[in-house]
Amino acid sequence: MWQLSPSLFNVLNLLRELPQGMSQTELSRALLMHRSNLTGLVDRLEERGLVKRLEVPGDRRSYRVVLTPDGQRVVEEILPRYYNAAREVWGEMSDARAQELCRELAQVSENAERLAARLNKPSLK
């Protein structure tokens, strides 16, 4: 129907409530993926008319990725099914347990970001 991979959907879903969009760096960090992988995703979405890149004034190397009206429409079509499937997957988990799990996963994400930053720093020898 929509022929979107989970990764492509995640990009659209992240941009859904951000009319100002996100930079590709911000998107790659939010999705925990290398920026070069994100570039391919954005290219595919742009070819399909679901997102567009807007130049950042004063920085010719940076772009903001924003949803197009078609991209917004597609996300809004998908979300009801997505939420129904999520309810089925999560089952009868209480709100309190879900919030606790989210806090724990946020900590895991912060740990991963710290490690990635440390590994990306050039070492002094």
The DSSP output letter for 121 is S
Pairing label, strands 22-23, 51-56: unpaired
Whether the pLDDT of residue 125 is over 60: the answer is no
Q: How far is CA 3 from the centre of its chain?
A: 17
pLDDT for 15 equals 96
Residues in Cβ contact with 35 at an 8 Å cutoff, skipping those fewer than 6 apart: 24, 25, 28
The two tokens of residue 75 are 């996300």
Q: Is the pTM of this model over 0.95?
A: no
pLDDT averaged over every residue in the chain: 90
pLDDT for 66 equals 96
Cβ atoms of 31 and 11 within 8 Å: the answer is yes
